[in-house]
């Protein structure tokens, strides 16, 4: 039966390849179920963060009081020197982006079947993530305890500033925390050899989620801290 063998036809690139994929039987994408599902979830999650960020931009335009100057609020001074604007946020961003590098290496070693290196690289990624979250905890506690920023008001200007800050960084921080737990869970299963039969795509699937959380941070950094 010629039409059964649609999948076995010669693979094309570009638009022809796209047409081949979508007119194939059995499966549209040549990826495991979990990976397809993670991609679809991430697109859906993108809509959540997009709604958060556009809502933030909207309330920033409609609020009646001036928006606080972020570079002054998010500044730290070391050893009594002048405060450096956004230094903590810069470090956090650097750490999170570095964690994407270790994650990419873990995916690479996962496919090579090097369980030990994969395990340690995933642990390193999780450690970067955990340090990101703990710096966020430091930032939150400094704003809440020392500077009196609350969700319903703050000493600097528009009350929506605090509301947006806690909501968006909190939602993103929750994503990072979930990611750390997910990475560790997968890492220990990798170490135990749980995926020897199923294959190591799971490392890449976890990596997709991690890179997404990382990418979202770049947008939060740009829109909330820099703009």
Partner 1 sequence: MSYVPLADQAQELHHPQSWVTRYVWSQDHKVIAIQYGGTAILVGIVALVLSLLMRMQLGFPESFDLIDPSSYYQAVTMHGMIMVIYLLTALFLGGFGNYLIPLMCGARDMVFPFLNMLSYWVYLLSVLILMASFFVPGGPTGGGWTLYPPQVSMAGTPGSDWGIVLMLLSLAVFIVAFTMGGLNYVTTILQARCRGLTMMRLPLTVWGIFIATILGLFAFPALLVAAIMMLLDTLLGTSFFMPAIIESGSPLDYNGGSPILFQHLFWFFGHPEVYIVALPAFGLVSDVLSTHARKNIFGYRMMVWAIIAIGGLSFVVWAHHMYVSGMNPYFGFFFATTTLIIAVPTALKVYNWVLTLWEGDIRMNVPMYFAIGFIFTFIHGGLTGLFLGNVVIDMPLSDTYFVVAHFHMVMGVSPVLVLFAALYHWYPLVSGRMYHEGLAKAHFWFTFLGTYAIYLPMHYLGFLGVPRRYYALGSTDFIPASAQDLNAAITIAALIVGAAQLLFFINIFWSLKHGKKAGSNPWGSASLEWQTPDTPPIHGNWGDELPTVYRWPYDYSVPGAHADFIPQNTPESEEPTADEQHFDPDHDPSMADL
Compute the distance between CA of residue 206 and CA of residue 38 in angstroms, rounded to an integer: 9
Strand, helix or coil for residue 85: strand
Q: How far is the CB of 129 from partner 1 (least distance, A)?
A: 23
φ, ψ of residue 195 to 5 degrees: the values are -95, 10
In this complex, which beta carbon is closest to partner 1, that of residue 32 or of residue 85? 32
Tell me the chain's radius of gyration from C-alpha atoms.
22
In this complex, which beta carbon is closest to partner 1, that of residue 163 or of residue 176? 163
Residues in contact with partner 1 by CB under 8 A are 1, 3-4, 6-7, 22-34, 36-37, 40-41, 43-45, 47-48, 50-52, 55, 58-59, 62-65, 151-152, 158-160, 162-163, 167, 171, 198-201
What torsion, rounded to 10 degrees, do the Cα atoms 109, 37, 216, 106 define?
-10
φ, ψ of residue 80 to 5 degrees: the values are 80, 5
Q: How far is the CB of 158 from partner 1 (least distance, A)?
A: 6
Compute the distance between CA of residue 129 and CA of residue 210 in angstroms, rounded to an integer: 9
Q: How far is the CB of 63 from partner 1 (least distance, A)?
A: 4
In this complex, which beta carbon is closest to partner 1, that of residue 5 or of residue 80? 5
Q: How far is the CB of 64 from partner 1 (least distance, A)?
A: 4
**Residue 152 vs residues 49, 78, 99, 142, 166: alpha-carbon distances, Å:** 21, 30, 34, 17, 10
In this complex, which beta carbon is closest to partner 1, that of residue 126 or of residue 163? 163
What torsion, rounded to 10 degrees, do the Cα atoms 61, 66, 71, 72 define?
-160
Picking from 36, 17, 22, the residue whose alpha carbon sits closest to that of residue 204 is: 36
In this complex, which beta carbon is closest to partner 1, that of residue 28 or of residue 77? 28
Q: How far is the CB of 78 from partner 1 (least distance, A)?
A: 33
Q: How far is the CB of 11 from partner 1 (least distance, A)?
A: 14
Would you tell me how many other CB atoms lie within 10 Å of the CB of residue 153? Answer: 15
Q: How far is the CB of 47 from partner 1 (least distance, A)?
A: 4
In this complex, which beta carbon is closest to partner 1, that of residue 37 or of residue 69? 37
In this complex, which beta carbon is closest to partner 1, that of residue 1 or of residue 10? 1
């Amino acid at each position: 039966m010629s039409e059964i063998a649609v999948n076995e036809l010669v693979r094309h690139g570009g638009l022809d390849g796209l047409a081949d994929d979508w007119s194939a039987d059995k499966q549209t994408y040549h990826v495991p179920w979990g990976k397809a599902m993670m991609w679809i979830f991430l697109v859906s999650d993108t809509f959540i963060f997009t709604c958060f960020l556009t809502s933030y931009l909207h309330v920033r335009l409609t609020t009646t009081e001036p928006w606080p100057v972020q570079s002054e609020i998010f500044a730290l001074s070391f050893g009594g020197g002048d405060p450096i604007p956004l230094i903590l946020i810069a470090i956090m961003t650097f750490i999170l982006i570095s964690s994407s590098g270790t994650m990419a290496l873990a995916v690479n070693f996962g496919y090579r079947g090097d369980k030990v290196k994969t395990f340690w690289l995933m642990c390193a990624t999780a450690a970067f993530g955990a340090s990101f979250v703990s710096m966020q905890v430091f930032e939150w506690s400094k704003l809440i305890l020392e500077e009196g920023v609350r969700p319903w008001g703050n000493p600097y200007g528009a009350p929506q500033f605090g509301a947006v800050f806690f909501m968006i960084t909190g939602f993103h921080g929750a994503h990072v925390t979930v990611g750390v737990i997910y990475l560790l869970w997968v890492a220990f299963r990798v170490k135990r050899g749980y995926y020897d039969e199923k294959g190591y795509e799971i490392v890449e699937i976890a990596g997709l989620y991690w890179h997404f959380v990382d990418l979202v941070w770049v947008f939060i950094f740009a829109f909330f801290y820099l703009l």
